[in-house]
Each structure stands twice: as structure tokens, then as C-alpha cells.
Structure 1
């Protein structure tokens, strides 16, 4: 029994193994019985019969016990196998279900795409710009008091798309001129025309002094009118933007001077070109000069009205000065008809005149529609706002026009004649 139980504890016993084990036990029992018969042959028949019966009973009990154990082992082994199979199948099912859930969750989750180099560049540049803006705003707030647009008085609210960086009313010319060296919404407007004024003063001084002996008084006069109009326009402009926040009365006064300066620059640009363009056509020369002078004076008169400086009349102001500039289309077409297109372009600098007109009109349109700050409010509060772009266009157009005047004046003085 001990051997049999040891075998059961080690592994599962099949029915075939149980039968073979029972047969072996029966054989052992028979051998033991034969031995007993031979050893106890001399005993009495009664004793022998009793011993034989006892032996047979012992053998039968042993056989029955072995058979019972074998059958119980045979009966238990399938049940245990089924239980273990059930446990194994349950664990296998759980394992497979977990795999299916992981696969389903992996398929449902979007795999992040690897960003491209261009995307990384855009994200990095955006981060750098945001950090630069935060640094500039921190430095501005630490060194100079600037405020949001909504905290300004009504007479200082000129452009609502410039969100931050405005000066409060200073009520002091000294404080206003000190602000030239500070960072705020008018810094770019001040310096674009301040540097332009300085440049034209040097250009005018050099040109008039070097040509004084070679030119006649008419040449000096028309060049002086051009330089005077350009210098006055740039001067009125940067001074106006400097004292813009002084007080309401000072603001209105210098805004009128600013608009008058634009009209003076436009008329002053026409005078030398009309003089040299119709150098041999006195009647057309006089008619065009008188006409442009009268139109310029009309613009100056309109600029003196207080309502003209209001922010809601910004498109009207831009349209008025664009119309003043477009009056030059009539003499330009007349000039091309007289001289011919090829001669006008290659000998008299006509392309410089066209370039000047494009720059003036383009800058005025950006000023009227407040591009780009109207598209991205708050992104161009300090630099690259529409008014600064307009100032740069004015400076560039004046320089281009000066170069065109040099070309046409040299052609007329040297007597260039087109066939």
C-alpha cells in the first residue's frame, strides 16, 4: 500500500497501469500460497484447511483492496485531468483575452507621427519668438511705463490692433523727447523718419554744394523744392510721433503738420520731374505745375480740419493722398506720348517714376487697411506695424525719385534728344 500511494503522489495512474499492477499482486499472492502449502504440508488437515482459508481470505482482502485502490485511482485520474484541463483552458482563455484587449487598444490608439524637420523648425522658431516677446515685455515694464490700448484716453486710441506698449499722456515735451530712446509703439515710427530726415539733409547739402557752379538758378530751385518738401515731411512726421502722447491739443496740432508734410512731399516730388519732363514744352510745364500746386494746397486745407485727424477717417486720409499722387498719371502719359516709351524708359528714368508711385500707393494702402496688425492683433505692437512700413515706403520712394531726377536732369542739361 505504501508503494502504491507513493506512485499516486508522484504522477497520475492510468487504468492500464492499474490492471497490470493488480495482476502482479495476484501473482505474488499465489506464490505465497504455494509456499505456505509446501511448508505446512505436514500439518493436520483441519489446521491446513483453516490456514488455507485464512490465507485465501487474506489474499482476497489484499486483492480486493488493491482492486479498490486501483479503481479509485482510475476513477480519480480522469476527474483530476478534467479539472486541470479546465483550469488550464481558463488560464489560457484569460491570457488570450488579455492579448486581444492589448491588440485592440493598440489598434485604437493613434500612433504618433514623427515630426518633420520643417515642423520642428516652425515649432522651435515659434518658441523662440514667444520667449523673445516675453523678454521684451519684461524689459519694457521694468524700465518704462507702458500700458494696454484699453487703458488709454480716447484721443490716444488710434489703432486698436496695437494691443500693448502704448505711452500714457506725459504732459511734458522733455519727457516726450526722452521717450525717443525708449521702446514703445511709436519708437519705429519716430526713428524711420528721423533717420530719413538726417539722410536727406546730407544728400541735399552734398548735391546742392557740388552742383552749385554748374547749375542755373532754375535747377537749384527745383531741386531745393524737392529736398525741402522731403525734409519737412520727414521732420513733421517724427516730431509728431514723438509728442503724440503729450496732450490732446498738442496731438491735434502736430497731426495737422504731419498731413501737411505729406502734401508738401508729394508736390515737391512733382516739381522737378515736371520741370525737366516738359523742358521744351513751356505751356504744358506751367499748366501741370499750377495744377499740382493747387491740388496740394487743397489737401493741406482739408488736413487742417479736426475731424480729418480722427481714427475713423483713416481710409479717407489715405484715399486723399493717393488721389493727389495719381494726378501725376496724366502728365506721365503725356510725357510718354511726346518722347516715346523706349526713350522715356532708357533715357529719362521713367521707371524710377513708376517705382516711386508704386511705393507711395502700396505704403498708403497698407496704412489704410492696417496690415499686418489687423490680421494678427498684438503681434506687431512694437515693430513691423503698418505705419512703420508706410514710413519705410516713403523713404524708399523719395530716394528712388531723387535718382530719377538726377537721370532726367542730366539728360536735359546735356541735350539728349530722342528720335
Structure 2
């Protein structure tokens, strides 16, 4: 009998322990579904229930943090992509580049929405910012240049350079406005598209004027002739740009070729300059090398724009970044900066020449003497 009682003690003790563990586990809160870890925490800190609650709240906050971050990331993402659509969902008047598959803005019949989209990511974001920053850059340079004292920068130079600054600012500003509001409505899109192409013609005219003026500084007849031809060709490009059909996508190649042909006209006075003053003088004092670099940048950018490279090679991969129009914009700003540097170098030739009348009047006097002798 005694042996039976002694043999039953371990069993009764073990059963008693199990009952106490189970009772303690059920009496304590269990937020994570782990009874053993809950019991361990309660047994480790039996006299500090408040500390246990603080720890639980801290752990809950830590576990909730990734969820909150994910929700915030979704909210930020909505600012970027909630309003963009695929190319197939665009109306016919917004269809332009079929190789850009996604990331397009839908029609936004509000100028406020259009300008707010400047700070969001879509197919036109880089196009807007490249020329917007270029506009601000040339405005700052123009203000600094024109406000210099007359003792440092002569009024004649301010006017000549001012023509170039005005052309660069108008071209880049019209482009910025077009890429910002062209999704407003068909009427607004056509209007600013025309202004965009007019701006390109204005920039080409404004780029030729200072170079011709300083390059043929004492060649008055030649200078006037080239200036008149440049203005006439530029006016013709502006008139063609005002034609409604000219802005249609099927005329993309024609547009590029027209402006390339107008830009290539610059090689005519350049070759004349080389024949008149010599090759070495043209590519040192005449800064013709910078004119060539500018032309290469313009032609390369326009060619990529017309061929839609690189998005044509991988449709959908260049919807937001590095599309042909963006590359063209970067090349336009770079070419304008190169041209500005070139005419700065060329304008120094004026101080070397001095007053043209000192060289012209003796030549006329010698010509009369040779006739009457």
C-alpha cells in the first residue's frame, strides 16, 4: 500500500504542475499566440506587470512600423502614377510616339493640373525640366551680361548678345510651356505646338546674327546680305510652323529636315569666312570649331528625334527616361551653351580690328588713286 502511494506521488505532482502552468497561461493575455513565450515572460518578471505592458506596446509598435511604411510608400506612389495611362488609352489628339507604351498623362482640362504635373513623374517630366532649367540658366546669364557697366561691356555688344539671349530664352520657354500644357485640350495643344516650332526658328536666327555680325565685322555688304538671308529663311520656317498639318505626327521627319536644312545654311557663311580669312584664322580667332560643334549637336539631336531612337529599338523601356525627345532637349541646351562660348571668343576679334573705318577709308582712297593714275 505504501509503495503504491509513493509511486503515485510523482504522477500527482506532475499533474499538479501541469494544472498550474495551464491556469497561469490562460489567465495572462496572449497577443502573439505563443503560450510558452508568454509564460516565460510572466515568470521572468512576476513583480512588474506594468513593465510587461510597456514591452508589449513597444513590440507592437515595432511590428507595425513596416506596415505603416508600406502604406506611406503607396501614398507617395499615388502622387506619381495614379493619373498616368497607357498609350492605347490616349485620345487621338494626344497620340504621338507609339514606342512610349506607358506613363502618359491623360487629358487635363485645367491649367492648374497641367502645371502641377511638372512635379510628378510621367513621359514629359524630363522634357519639361531640361528646358525649364535651360531657360532659367540663360535668364541669369542675360541679366548678368546686360547689367555689366558700359566700361566692361559696350552697348553694341550688349545688343548683339541680347538678341541671342532672347532667342534662347524664347525657344526654351516655349518648349517648356508646350510640354507642360499640351495635354490640356486640342486647341491649347495646337497653339503651344506652333509656338514651340516658332521658338526653334527664333533660336536659329538669333544664333546666326551675332556670329555673322562679328565674323564679317568689317565686311558690311556681306554681313547685311547674310543677315537678310537668315531672317528670310527663319521667317519662312515660322510661317510653315503655323500650318496646322505641320504639327501632325506623320510630318515628324519633315519638321526635323526643315530645321536641319535651316541650320545647315550656317555652313555657307562659314565656308565663305574660311575662304576670306584662311583656315587657320577661321578655327582660331573665328571660333569656327565651336560653330561646327554646335551644328553637330543640333543635327544629332534632331536626327534621333526624327528616328525615335532609342525607344524604337526597345518599346516600353524608355517611357520615362532617356527617350529621343529628352536627348534632343539636352543637345539643344548644350548646343546653345557651346554657341554662347563661341561668340564670346569671336567677339574678341572686334577689339583686335578696332574701328573698321580706319581700314576702309584708306582702301577707298587707294582705289581712287589707282583709277586716276
TM-score by length of 2: 0.73
CA contact (8 A) 1:194 1:238 kept: yes
Number of residues paired by the alignment? Answer: 282
Give the secondary-structure state (helix, strand or coil) at the position aligned to 1:147: coil
Counterparts of 2:287 and 2:245 in 1: how far apart (Å)? 39
Aligned to 2:37: none
Counterparts of 1:400 and 1:150 in 2: how far apart (Å)? 40
Give deviations 1:382-416, integer Å, cap 9, x for gaps. 01100010000000000000000000101222338
Q: CA deviation at 1:244?
A: 1.2
Q: How does 1:46-85 map to 2 (within 5 A)?
A: none
Give the secondary-structure state (helix, strand or coil) at the position aligned to 1:210: coil
Aligned to 2:271: 333
CA contact (8 A) 1:222 1:272 kept: yes
* 1:260 to 2:198 alignment: yes
Give the secondary-structure state (helix, strand or coil) at the position aligned to 1:399: helix
CA contact (8 A) 2:118 2:180 kept: yes
Q: How does 1:336-347 map to 2 (within 5 A)?
A: 336-347=274-285
Larger radius of gyration: 1
Give the secondary-structure state (helix, strand or coil) at the position aligned to 2:217: coil
Give deviations 1:16-47, integer Å, cap 9, x for gaps. xxxxxxxxxxxxxxxxxxxxxxxxxxxxxxxx
Aligned to 2:252: 314
Give deviations 1:143-172, integer Å, cap 9, x for gaps. 531000000000000100000000010100
Q: How does 1:205-284 map to 2 (within 5 A)?
A: 205-210=143-148, 212-284=150-222
CA contact (8 A) 2:80 2:122 kept: no
Runs of 4+ aligned structure 1 residues displaced above 4 Å come to 140-143
Q: CA deviation at 1:221?
A: 1.6
CA contact (8 A) 1:267 1:296 kept: yes
CA contact (8 A) 1:140 1:183 kept: no
TM-score by length of 1: 0.65
- Alignment counterpart, residue 362 of structure 1, candidates 295, 300, 321: 300
Counterparts of 2:192 and 2:334 in 1: how far apart (Å)? 24
CA contact (8 A) 2:80 2:121 kept: no
CA contact (8 A) 2:81 2:103 kept: no
Aligned to 1:158: 96
Counterparts of 1:142 and 1:203 in 2: how far apart (Å)? 33
* 1:375 to 2:313 alignment: yes
CA contact (8 A) 1:144 1:182 kept: no
Q: CA deviation at 1:210?
A: 2.1
Aligned to 1:177: 115
CA contact (8 A) 2:79 2:120 kept: no
CA contact (8 A) 2:103 2:320 kept: yes
Give deviations 1:62-87, integer Å, cap 9, x for gaps. xxxxxxxxxxxxxxxxxxxxxxxxxx
CA contact (8 A) 1:140 1:146 kept: no
Q: CA deviation at 1:141?
A: 7.6
Structure 2 gap segments, 5+ residues each: 1-72, 355-373
- Alignment counterpart, residue 83 of structure 2, candidates 141, 145, 154: 145
* 1:286 to 2:224 alignment: yes
CA contact (8 A) 2:128 2:179 kept: yes
Structure 2 CA distance for partners of 1:147 and 1:412, relative to 1, 3 Å: same
Q: CA deviation at 1:344?
A: 1.2
* 1:297 to 2:235 alignment: yes
Q: CA deviation at 1:213?
A: 3.4
Counterparts of 1:192 and 1:279 in 2: how far apart (Å)? 34
Counterparts of 2:209 and 2:309 in 1: how far apart (Å)? 31
